[in-house]
Amino acid sequence: MKGVAMPAVPTFEAETAEISGHLFENPSVGVPRGIYWSCTIGFAPISASPEGEERDEGWPCTLLCDWITWPVRSWQEIHGLSLESCVGPLAVEASLYFFGQHQSLSRLELSFQRSQADRFRVRGSFLADLEDLDGKTLRAVTSALDIEGRFVGLSVLPDNLFPKPKSEAEAIEALGQFADLQSYERPQWEDLVWMFRPRRSDSVG
């Protein structure tokens, strides 16, 4: 979509944040079985309308941060952690879905503070060179964020594991090696995965 100008400095307003995790392994490339965490932050749609013109509906904009590896067994222990708390074996991967394409970030900082129940305060900032709809590169775009998000749960996708867990009991056994399941509800089969939702009765300790 060439020829579409946009404001010189886009504004990023965080609206939603979700923290999740999934049980994964890939021995063929050296990825051991473990819980790998993710954080997804949704921003208000980004307008491509030039300044002074009527604002369009805007384009979806989402920050994706995957392959976070924290040395925790309980989701409550995410409190006080940041991306700098990662221990490997994989490097964190982060991108910004901006004007219809995933664009790499030069720097991303995120920290997490539990507020109540399954809610966390997510604070941070990012730095990136971003390409607009006209192919122009916006250099060193930076934005801070401060948003309340929630932990949505852990998932077990049988196809990600070998041997594949074939029942609820086997999914519980597989995840229980890496997580304290007392902080989760009984798993539910949702969209081809076993989903372990947090117990909402838990309070800040």
52, pLDDT greater than 60: no
Residue-level pLDDT at 55: 64
For 118-164, the pLDDT digits (tens) are 999 999 999 999 998 888 899 999 999 999 999 999 999 999 999 99
Q: What is the pLDDT of residue 193?
A: 97
Instruction: Choose between 199 and 43: higher pLDDT.
Output: 43
Q: Are 131 and 117 in contact (CB under 8 A)?
A: no
Q: H/E element holding 24?
A: strand 14-26
Token code pair at residue 32: 């051991």
Distance CA 127, CA 141 (A): 6
In degrees, to the nearest 5, what angle opens at C-alpha 185 toward C-alphas 172 and 71? 65
Q: Specify the higher pLDDT residue, 116 or 89.
A: 116
Kindly tell me the burial class for residue 156, based on how many C-beta atoms sit within 10 Å of its own C-beta (0-12, 13-18, 19 or more): buried
| Per-residue pLDDT, 136 | 87
Indicate if the pLDDT at residue 6 is higher than 60: no
| Prediction pTM value | 0.90
* Helical spans, DSSP H, in the chain: 168-176
Phi first, then psi, for residue 183 (nearest 5°) are: -95, 15
Report the phi/psi class of residue 80: left, alpha or beta, with left for phi > 0 and alpha for psi in -120 to 50.
Answer: left
Range in 14-18, 42-46, 52-56, 120-124 the model is least confident about: 52-56
Q: Is the pLDDT of residue 50 over 80?
A: no
- Percent of the chain's residues with pLDDT above 90: 80
